[in-house]
Structure 1
Amino acid sequence: MPAPLPAPTFDAGAAYPEVNDLRKALDAADWPAVQALFADRDPALHTLLVREAGDHVGSGAFLHHVYDDDPTDQLAGTLHGTHLICDGWRIRSADRARHVSRSQFDQFHEHLRRAEQVLIDVTARYPDDPSAWTERLAIARGLELGQSEARRRYDRLAHHHPHHLPAQTSLLQQLCPKWSGDWDRMFAFARECARTAPDGAPNAVLIADAHLERWLDIDDDQESADYLAQPAVIDEIAQAAERSVLHPAFTHGAGWVWVRSTFALMLCLTDQWAAAATQFTALGNLGSKYPWNYVGGVDGFTEYRAEAYAKGGQS
């Protein structure tokens, strides 16, 4: 009998040990330790850690206190603003708008407006801060500031960091019809980011992400199956994988679990089982909430992995 496959975990701390260190520092309200964890990080890891700090339940009062002590502190402002954003989204919930109460929306928007005031100051003082600009993209979406304003914010960031994937992922969401965008602009942006990124960079995942968003928007089962069966869709996802996760220059930098997870799912959905199996092998027991939350979470990951290994010939 083959050995049982490891149960997947979607905990970021399992993939990135810095996340566990950050959580401990936040729980201990140890600001010097928090500062040390952010020192000299590359932009992708810095942004990942900012979001993890912002999403860490229970650290809001501590981060607010640190910010109040020195409102000019770049990191303190970024973390406090991000925590306000995350708290706001928790209040709003992930439900569709019609299921969100007026009170929830009011509190959500109030949190985002407060975060905006903090992060405006951060980006004014430090215009090359990729994490603060990335979070301001989330604010633009939540406050429905429009496509032009979101693009303006992205362009300000891209002037300093032209291949910053967290920001590109955020803008891709903004460009979806569900946020008042359209499919043509979404795909054009994803393709441009993939085309201009170096070979082996993770940015081509935006192609897979764009097709995932398009597929999720189709309500009819036959139409959704037909979409995934199109040769142009299959080929584009395959080529994006070749430029990124299947390229020898691809490395496990910040965000790699989400990148491989997205390709694993889209390669499964387009019946490219051997390529999907290579992604599950690289992931081991690691996964990310997105995109697996769209297909059953941990159970979906487990089921697709088993099918990829059965049909793709790997384990």
Structure 2
Amino acid sequence: MPPPDAGPGPYPGPDPDFELASAYPEVTWLRQAATAADWASVRQYYDSLPPGTDRAFVVRVLTEVDGVEHALRQQVSAAPYDVFALTLLGARLVQVGWEIRTSARAKDVSREQFKAFHAHLKDAEQLLIRATAVDPSYDAAWAERLNTARGLSLGKNEARRRYDRLAKYHPHHFTGQSRLLQQLCPKWGGTWEEAHGFVRECLLAAPEGALSGGLVAEAHIEHWLDLKGDDKRAEYLRQPHVHAELVEAAERSVFHPKFGRPHGWVAVQGCFAAMFSLIGDTEQAAAHFRALGNLASEYPWSYLGKPAEAYVRHRDTALRGRR
């Protein structure tokens, strides 16, 4: 059972807040610095992060700034072996490539989209290879190489090799784990046995209060979504082991006393809220919604329809009568 002090959550609640900076205030400054090409300040902040920080989050924020690749090309041109600049430019090209491809299934992506997508990822791969050669412990570069491995269809064995190189230096790197999980799903060439086995392995190996428990919820959401037809999805959710695994994972991660709400916690808490809502356990779902307040992320709610509408529908159902 979740702890009684999971946090306040009045019903009905406010509109969900999908702004990343609402959960992580430093995001506003990072965006401003990237827009101004103030890389010295960004680098100082990046290098000052405590050991064990998942720096891929910071890279994501910086590389979502439109047009930032132009200034980054200048940085790499001036310093061809600067691991920080190589990683940021590589990650930005991955970001642009995926925007071109979109999240559609392969059959719905045009030949022209695939051509541009692969061109961006191949350029990114060369930059990231150079970055990991200069510094084999650079977590954000390896995390991006998991994206390029998937996008370039290099296969799960190569993806696992890259993850193992990352895990050698950062054994509980949540972004890396989440990206390998995607590769292990059937839609990218894996199997459900591999996917669920991997997340179980991560859960048990992680320190108490780590985000890794959220991978269990991610795997179940992906599995549920992959099933065709409402009957099969409902049957999946009725399996006792699914509920039991989610309760265990939540207790070892977001509801553990040592949980510190690191970067990425909103999406993880949302995954648990979504899964318990789908199962129909409103008590468990309500505890996760209370912990979120009105914070939200596109994932996982985009899997359940229009994100804001899905969030409100499931939150209001869970919190109804649970003031």
Q: Same fold (TM over 0.5)?
A: yes
How many Å separate the matches in 1 of 2:292 and 2:54? 18
Moved more, 124-133 or 30-39: 30-39
Q: Which residue of 2 aligns with 1:207?
A: 216
Contact 1:44–1:166 (8 Å) recurs in 2: no
Q: Deviations over 1:8-45 (max 9, x none)?
A: 12221111112111100111121212212212214444
Q: Which residue of 1 aligns with 2:22?
A: 14
Q: Which residue of 1 aligns with 2:7?
A: none
How many Å separate the matches in 2 of 1:80 and 1:25? 15
How many Å separate the matches in 1 of 2:117 and 2:259? 38
Q: Which residue of 2 aligns with 1:300?
A: 310
Contact 1:66–1:76 (8 Å) recurs in 2: yes
Select which of 225, 231, 237 maps to 1:216. Answer: 225
Aligned pairs for 1:281-296 (under 5 A) are 281-296=290-305
How many Å separate the matches in 1 of 2:73 and 2:38? 13
Q: Which residue of 2 aligns with 1:46?
A: 55
Select which of 56, 59, 63 maps to 2:65. Answer: 56
How many Å separate the matches in 1 of 2:207 and 2:100? 39
How many Å separate the matches in 2 of 1:213 and 1:192? 18
How many Å separate the matches in 2 of 1:178 and 1:60? 30
Q: How much is the aligned-residue C-alpha RMSD, in angstroms?
A: 1.3
Select which of 141, 166, 174 maps to 1:165. Answer: 174
Q: Which residue of 1 aligns with 2:33?
A: 25
Which consecutive aligned stretches of 4+ in structure 1 deviate over 2 angstroms post-superposition?
A: 42-45
TM-score (norm 2): 0.94
Structure 2 spans left out of the alignment, 5+ residues: 1-9
Larger RCO: 1 or 2 (CA < 8 Å, sep 6+): 2
Using a 3 Å threshold, how does the CA distance of structure 1 residues 292 and 3 change in structure 2: closer, same or farther? Answer: closer
* Shift, 1:4, TM fit: 4.9
Structure 2 letter corresponding to 1:16? Y
Select which of 215, 230, 240 maps to 1:231. Answer: 240
Q: Which residue of 2 aligns with 1:69?
A: 78
How many Å separate the matches in 1 of 2:117 and 2:75? 23
TM-score (norm 1): 0.96
Alignment of 1:310 onto 2:320:
yes
How many Å separate the matches in 1 of 2:105 and 2:53? 30
Contact 2:54–2:175 (8 Å) recurs in 1: no
Contact 1:208–1:263 (8 Å) recurs in 2: yes
Q: Which residue of 1 aligns with 2:93?
A: 84
Structure 1 spans left out of the alignment, 5+ residues: none
Structure 2 letter corresponding to 1:25? A
Structure 1 letter corresponding to 2:311? F
Structure 2 letter corresponding to 1:309? L
**Aligned residue pairs: how many?**
312
Contact 1:44–1:165 (8 Å) recurs in 2: no
Q: Which residue of 2 aligns with 1:192?
A: 201
